[in-house]
């Protein structure tokens, strides 16, 4: 498995648990990445992989598709790479997965949610909705939203936060969503990740997601 835009390896660990040998590629150093790592441009690497891999996962930067894109002085600062990545993946002619957030230009994507896998803490559930475009049929299951939502993201003055979907750190938002500060250890426990620092964790996806995908992908690559 080639994991492009791998970050600190949240997706990679999931595929590893599903039985893949994983190589990660990112343009930034990733000192805590747990497998073979190549610091390089993801698209350039994708165009020259030859026949060394059975499948490819790609998590292009998501900031261009999130609410951050409408904030003052941020327009045009984030790369919009999904279409270019898809084109390169199609040229590679291997099974692929593209992961991103709601609003990204994915084709017929499948939603995965932390509540499908029981992620979170005793007090909060972790939803962390992410969308996956797959070149193969991906079976899924419904979300189970039942409790207050935990958000592992952001960094306010060095303090981490848990927030409702529309919450604001430090109290109740105008919509009445309750919020609470959390530690990095609590965030790691909720995500099922124990090797990242907070800035890496805030950008990661839970390994459970790609383990679930990888178990189905194994059936595709073994045919």
User: In this structure, what CATH number is given to the domain that contains residue 79?
Assistant: 3.40.50
CA distances from 83 to 28, 79, 107, 133 (A): 22, 11, 10, 12
> Rg for the chain (alpha carbons), in Å?
17
Domain that holds residue 127: 2-221
H-only helix segments in the chain: 10-17, 42-46, 82-92, 184-191, 198-201, 207-221
What pLDDT, on a 0 to 100 scale, did the predictor assign at position 210?
98
pLDDT number for residue 51 = 84
Mean pLDDT of 81-103: 95
Question: Where does the pLDDT of residue 161 fall: very low under 50, low under 70, confident under 90, or very high at 90 and above?
Answer: low
Q: Roughly how many angstroms between the first and final C-alpha of the chain, as a whole number?
A: 16
User: How much is the pLDDT for 167?
Assistant: 33
* Confidence band, pLDDT 50/70/90 cuts, at residue 176: very low
Average pLDDT of the chain is 84
Q: Which residue has the tokens 């970050």?
A: 7
Percent of the chain with pLDDT over 70: 80
Mean pLDDT of 208-217: 98
**Tokens 């409790």 identify what position?**
147
Q: Report the distance separating Cα 169 and Cα 187, nearest Å.
A: 15
Average pLDDT over residues 189-206: 92
> Is the pLDDT reported for residue 54 higher than 80?
yes
pTM for this structure?
Answer: 0.86
202 backbone dihedrals φ, ψ, rounded to 5°: -65, -20
148 sits in the region (left: phi over 0; alpha: psi -120 to 50; else beta) called beta
Tally of structural domains, the chain: 1
């Amino acid at each position: 498995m080639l994991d492009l835009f791998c970050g600190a390896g949240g997706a990679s660990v999931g595929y590893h648990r599903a039985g893949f040998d994983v190589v990660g590629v990112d343009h930034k150093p990733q000192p805590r990445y747990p497998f073979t790592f190549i610091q390089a441009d993801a698209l350039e690497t994708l165009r020259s992989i030859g026949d060394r891999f059975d499948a490819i996962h790609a998590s292009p930067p998501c900031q261009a598709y999130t609410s951050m894109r409408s904030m003052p002085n941020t327009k045009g600062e984030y790369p919009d790479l999904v279409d270019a990545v898809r084109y390169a993946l199609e040229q590679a002619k291997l099974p692929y997965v593209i992961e991103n957030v709601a609003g990204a230009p994915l084709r017929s994507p499948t939603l995965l949610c932390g509540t499908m896998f029981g992620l979170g803490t005793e007090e909060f559930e972790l939803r962390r909705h992410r969308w996956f475009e797959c070149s193969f049929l991906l079976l899924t299951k419904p979300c189970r939203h039942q409790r207050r939502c935990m958000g592992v993201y952001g960094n306010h003055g060095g303090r981490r936060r848990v927030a409702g979907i529309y919450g604001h750190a430090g109290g109740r938002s105008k919509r009445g969503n309750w919020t609470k500060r959390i530690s990095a250890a609590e965030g790691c426990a909720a995500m099922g990740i124990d090797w990242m620092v907070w800035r890496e964790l805030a950008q990661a996806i839970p390994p459970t997601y790609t383990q679930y995908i990888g178990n189905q992908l194994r059936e595709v690559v073994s045919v």
